Structure 1
């Protein structure tokens, strides 16, 4: 008779794992945004996207805090109001991290050339892009990241087939379940 080893139920990603995904997302978007800006401004077909290693910390932490806001606000106010709150938070975070990085001559951005800038660290011209980014972050990035799960179970489950000896012996294969696979020993 075959016995069945059932995997432990998947568990949500830890805060550091979510921070990592948010950091990589922000880093990638920063590179793509600067490449698109360079193309729109200079018609540079090389699309040279740039950023700083500080962007990993800045985006990862900012989006993790936006995630906390989302979880608190999602049933209390409409999405456009939430995105406005996220945008305001982004400006506060950008100003704060910019002021801190300037103390070490490490701030990688300078908006001094923009008409509506404040201390060269934030600019009103980016309000609409930050608002749109907030919408995308909530609807696609945060909601899908919160749905991700870590697999907790036997490491060999992906490489070991099951054997069904109750049906004439020797039949091998996999048993699918809602969140992964069951392994027959």
Structure 2
């Protein structure tokens, strides 16, 4: 919803959808670039799972309160580390639940040298920290705390 030069999504459900869609788009970009770097496949094929919409949508009930509690009080490196721990915990928990329910998770990191049960990669910690910090302005935009980027 556009209001006084700001794009605001006033409902929690609406922001759940916004985070779900944002996560899907980010994952498609990430997997295409990641696989190009690994295999040099110029098709830039990307992938995601419909299950991931809900996983990324969890940003609304989990990330927003965390960001609000640290806003203006906690330095960026610490916020990033907290976000990374939260994202990786959520990644592990949702992967574990989906694996129990479906027999497999939408992702499998067993090809990686370092992983926890194929569900989490410790080397992704900095990426998740950066992703959390990058989500702060989106949260502010969606809740009306910031205007659109100039």
Kept in 1, the 8 Å contact 2:20–2:56? The answer is yes
Deviations 1:140-167 (A, max 9, x none): 321211128xxxxxxxxxxxxxxxxxxx
Give 4+ residue runs of structure 1 displaced > 4 Å after superposition: 9-12
Instruction: Go from structure 1 to structure 2 and tell me whether the alpha carbon gap of 1:63 and 1:117 turns closer, same or farther (over 3 Å shift).
Output: farther
Deviations 1:11-30 (A, max 9, x none): 86110011110110001000
Q: How many residues align?
A: 139
Match for residue 107 of structure 1 among 97, 105, 113: 105
Name the one with the larger helix percent.
Answer: 2
Name the one with the larger strand percent.
Answer: 1
1:1-185 equivalences in 2 (<5 Å): 13-103=10-100, 104-138=102-136, 140-147=137-144
Kept in 1, the 8 Å contact 2:36–2:42? The answer is yes
> Over aligned residue pairs, what C-alpha RMSD do you find?
1.9
List gaps (5 residues or longer) in structure 1: 1-8, 149-185
How high is the TM-score relative to the length of structure 2? 0.85
List gaps (5 residues or longer) in structure 2: 146-150
How high is the TM-score relative to the length of structure 1? 0.70
